[in-house]
Structure 1
């Protein structure tokens, strides 16, 4: 019984890693650095923090997350297009709240590299990036 639990946990960890790798592979010009993944005091939720570096002109796929995101622009200028809203451009030092499940796209609209610090409060065990249809 204990061996099957360990095996199941190992398969889940590998599968989650492959899902994140697949999501990253679909997004040419974006470079993710995973910084933190931690359980929080809310049952079934976790905090994840990621640095995302955008090459010049890079655009994310249209996607959503299984929880809330706070995007903080570290450098450059990023345009965010949230479904049902007008695009908004943020410069270094500005932040944006993205509600759970809202499809969005982020695009580097500056003249060089751009970077964001993305903080998520999401459902534990769910894929972090959910491609939109």
Structure 2
């Protein structure tokens, strides 16, 4: 287990623990798996990733807003997919801390998450 990636804008806003990082069989991509904790009432801020995010809500209730898509309210056990480069925002609706397990299939050498406008 490694510490949060310093090339990740969200690491300063939310508790993010990088669990693993490895080269992908997909050319010019790497796979990064992260556990994110969002305290009740806190939002990630609008951001995007340089590749897909395949996620799963481990605990809590999280609202995910994705540009040009309907807003999702997800509960423990629900999965989600964010397309590459798509602005999105996650908010923990409480009352407990939301925990998300996300696997990113991203371009190596780019920040894992970058703040953006909706």
State the TM-score, normalizing by the size of structure 2: 0.90
Task: Report the Cα offset of residue 119 of structure 1.
Answer: 0.5
**Distance between the aligned counterparts of 1:125 and 1:119, measured in 2?**
16
Alignment pair present for 1:122 and 2:103: no
Aligned partner of 1:111 in structure 2 is: 95
SS of equivalent to 2:7: helix
Alignment pair present for 1:53 and 2:37: yes
Task: Report the Cα offset of residue 23 of structure 1.
Answer: 3.7
**Distance between the aligned counterparts of 2:93 and 2:10, measured in 1?**
22
User: Between Structure 1 and Structure 2, whose CA radius of gyration is higher?
Assistant: 1
Aligned ranges 1:17-56 → 2 under 5 Å = 17-20=5-8, 22-25=9-12, 27=13, 30-56=14-40
Q: Which runs of 5+ in 1 are unaligned?
A: 1-16
Q: Which runs of 5+ in 2 are unaligned?
A: none
Task: Report the Cα offset of residue 110 of structure 1.
Answer: 2.3
Alignment CA distance shift 1:93-1:23 (3 Å) = closer
RCO higher in 1 or 2 (8 Å CA, sep ≥ 6)?
A: 2
Cα RMSD, aligned residues only: 1.2
Moved over 3 A (4+): none
Structure with the higher helix share, 1 or 2: 1
State the TM-score, normalizing by the size of structure 1: 0.80
Alignment CA distance shift 1:23-1:109 (3 Å) = closer
**Distance between the aligned counterparts of 1:19 and 1:124, measured in 2?**
11
Alignment pair present for 1:67 and 2:55: no
**Distance between the aligned counterparts of 2:55 and 2:62, measured in 1?**
10
